[in-house]
Amino acid sequence: MIVPWITIASYKELATIKRLVQLGFAFLAGFSPYLLLFVSQAVHYGRYSWGDLLSIDGYITHLTRAEYGSFQLYKGEGEDTNNPPYFLKLEFYFSNLVFSEFGVIGAALALVGLIYSISSKYRLWCSAPLVACFAFYITWFFDRCNLPLDDDLFVGVWYRFFPQINMLIAIWASAGLFFAVKTLQKKFALSGIVGKSLLVAVLALSVGRQLNANFSRLDQSSNTYIEEYGRALLSPLPNNSIVLLKGGSHDSVLVCLFLTSSVQI
Amino acid sequence: MAAVESALAAAFLFLAIVELMTSLSAKKPSLATLVVALFGALLYSFSSIVWTYSLHAEVFPLNNLFCAALLYLTFKYLRTKRLPYAILGALVCGVALTNQQCVTHSRAPLLSRFD
């Protein structure tokens, strides 16, 4: 998919075979960890690998995620029986974006930035790929995303695919902020200092709003689960016991206790 | 590790926005450019999904890092037209695909810019 895309989109510039070969080799070099799967199973007899990677069918099954459903997130119990309507998915994404992720201000600035970035021919050459990325994602991927939206577990799975496209929204929000402040400066003859202060004020307000809304989600200051788990492992042991470690999740917890308290290991 | 990857993704996003704004204004990066780039990067990194999943051992933070790196390399190449950035972009494409294949859904159209 990638090589034909480059060839079709840039065929004039790819008149040199040397350029195409260089890019192709660079891509294959990055893709080479997939060879490691084959080597790993061949050498270690597939001790920790997934599927049969020593046969071509097995390798292609692994590569295409056939067991989970190729080109779809959820295999489910039927073909597309659980696939929510496309417009429901769009509404779900945009309402999450506006009311949870970036807020109304961030979303509005992103819209301004999108219009600003495509409003002239000069900017089109760098903004068109971003628009193409976004359009491709919300059409192709959203169509293929057949996770049921009435199950919180699957909604959580789908949330994890949003950040890669929200980066584009963040880029447009930046462009929108820049354009909005520049326009206000011109319209009201504001000085450079006032313009920069406005930028910093919007930055502080938006980020402050997000931190206020989201900080508590990752506040681990009262998280003592690991310590309690470690002490539960040690409590049945008599005093002055010698604990022998050979590596593993239990052992790393005990090492943490050794480093942070008086437990001797 | 996921937190480090998310932080690096935000850093690459910052650099990508600086490159894009520099291209749009055809001038050297100014204080205003740096502030709007910081705005975009922080808006992204403190959003609820990125913030929440930065502590989960999943493929997504690394995938986000690769996506941000691809954006940065694309804008850098578009501005400078230097071949090493295109080659690095192709390399990152390959590595990103080994991590999670859905990077093709969000970044495939960028490859048309590496000409």
**What pLDDT score was predicted for residue B40?**
93
Q: Residue A97 in contact with residue B70, Cβ under 8 Å?
A: no
Between chains, do B90 and A214 touch, taking CB under 8 Å as contact?
no
Length of chain B counted residue by residue: 115
Quick one: closest CA in B to A116, which residue? B24
Residues of A in contact with B105 (CB under 8 A): 136-137, 140-141, 144
Pair of tokens at residue A1:
């998919």
> Which of B30, B20, B14 lies closest to A181, judged by CA?
B30
Nearest to B93 among A2, A126, A177 (CB): A2
Distance CA(A120)–CA(A240), nearest Å, equals: 76
Give the separation between CA A45 and CA A26, rounded to whole angstroms. 30
pTM here is 0.78
Q: Which of B40, B46, B88 has its CB closest to that of A174?
A: B40
User: Do A207 and B86 lie within an 8 Å CB cutoff?
Assistant: no
pLDDT of residue A46: 53
CA pair distance B72, B74, nearest whole angstrom = 5
Tens digit of each residue's pLDDT, chain A (265 residues): 334 444 454 556 655 777 778 878 888 888 887 777 777 766 765 555 566 666 777 776 666 666 665 555 555 555 555 677 788 888 888 888 888 888 888 899 999 888 887 776 556 566 777 888 888 888 877 877 777 777 777 777 788 888 888 999 999 999 899 888 888 888 887 778 888 888 888 888 888 888 888 888 777 778 888 778 877 877 787 877 777 776 666 666 666 666 655 555 5
Contact across the interface for B43 and A102, Cβ inside 8 Å: yes
Closest CA to A144 of A75, A64, A63: A75
DSSP run (H or E) holding A234: helix A225-234
**CA of B98: which chain A residue's CA is closest?**
A31
User: What's the gap in Å between the CA of B49 and the closest CA on chain A?
Assistant: 7
Residues in chain B within 8 Å Cβ distance of A137 = 105-106
Calculate how close chain A gets to B40, using CA atoms only, in Å: 5
Contacts for A249 with CB less than 8 Å, ≥ 6 apart? none
ipTM: 0.87
- Using a CB-CB cut-off of 8 Å, the residues of chain B touching A214 are 46-48, 51-52
With contacts defined as CB-CB under 8 Å, which chain A residues touch B5? none
Beta-carbon count within 10 A of A53 CB: 20
A218:B47 CB<8 A:
no
